[in-house]
Amino acid sequence: MAGVLDKIKTSIQDGTREISRAASGLNTEIQQTAANNNVNNPLPSDFASEVNKAAKILNSFTDPKKEEGADQHAIPKEIFKNALGLAIFTVVKAGFFWSGRVGSGLVVAKLENGSWSPPSCINIGGVGFGAQIGADVTDFVIILNTKEAVKAFSRGENLTLGGSLSVIAGPVDIGGEISGSVIEAAPLYSYSKSKGLFAGVSLEGTIIIERKDANNVFYEKQVSAEEILSGKVETPSGKIDVLYNAIKFAEEREINHHH
């Protein structure tokens, strides 16, 4: 079994490289598709774009004003109170290489003092995504609920979701009522949207890969995800305010249910 997994991992790493290569050609096409479907560009792009994308995705799950129908399935703010980290990313079905998916995004962690760390960039690879909707492009917000989950995202090795790090669909806020058994805490809560619609997409077997190159460029030095997520790295000023503002809104919003 291990041999198979290694092969899959290698093919995903090669795949990620190949995808980056092919992506430049496909990029315009996929960006166009993404734009047409009202979703975000799933291909790895520069850090500033990743930050803007993450802020936009987060808003779409938390701010009904920013997105039609978001209040039908908002991520409850209680979930953010207890969150120890967030992974925000977009994936695309990569049928043109293997029956997998590929994507990009970032991770932030909550520091001891309650503020949020700078973001660390990630790539997503994976096989066998169970997409209930079969949509091509899906936005995700993953809530990291435990210290172990944050550690797993900080390690710098490729991380496979599922198994010891179980992912369940997170509880949603439907008109002030929280649905889903909040009692069942899992290390990771997953929220997903395709074409602006809430989508229950399973993330078992998804592989998260740290984008060291993008991080090093952004922070202008060699940095590890661990250093970034534990707040040991200075954030280039102003560059990620849009993301912090989106998180702050998610944590503090007053939801007005009387439209």
pLDDT of 32? 59
Confidence of residue 161 (pLDDT cuts 50, 70, 90): confident
* Cα distance between residue 11 and residue 198, in whole Å: 30
**128 within some domain:** yes
**257 within some domain:** no
**pLDDT of 257 above 90:** no
**58 within some domain:** yes
**Tally of domains within the chain:** 1
* Cα distance between residue 114 and residue 141, in whole Å: 19
27 φ, ψ (degrees, to nearest 5): -50, -50
pLDDT of 71? 47
**23 within some domain:** yes
Of 42 and 124, the one with more pLDDT: 124
Neighbouring C-alpha atoms within 13 Å toward the C-beta of 203:
34
Of 88 and 135, the one with more pLDDT: 88
**259 within some domain:** no
**112 within some domain:** yes
The strand pair at 188-194 and 167-169 is best described as: parallel
What is the residue range of 100's domain? 2-252
* Cα distance between residue 49 and residue 218, in whole Å: 12
Q: What is the mean pLDDT of residues 197-223?
A: 85
**220 within some domain:** yes
> By the 8 A CB rule, do 201 and 90 touch?
no
Q: What is the mean pLDDT of residues 222-247?
A: 91
pLDDT of 46? 83
* Cα distance between residue 241 and residue 88, in whole Å: 16
* Cα distance between residue 214 and residue 212, in whole Å: 6
**pLDDT of 64 above 70:** no
Of 17 and 228, the one with more pLDDT: 228
Q: For the chain, what percent of residues have pLDDT higher than 70?
A: 66
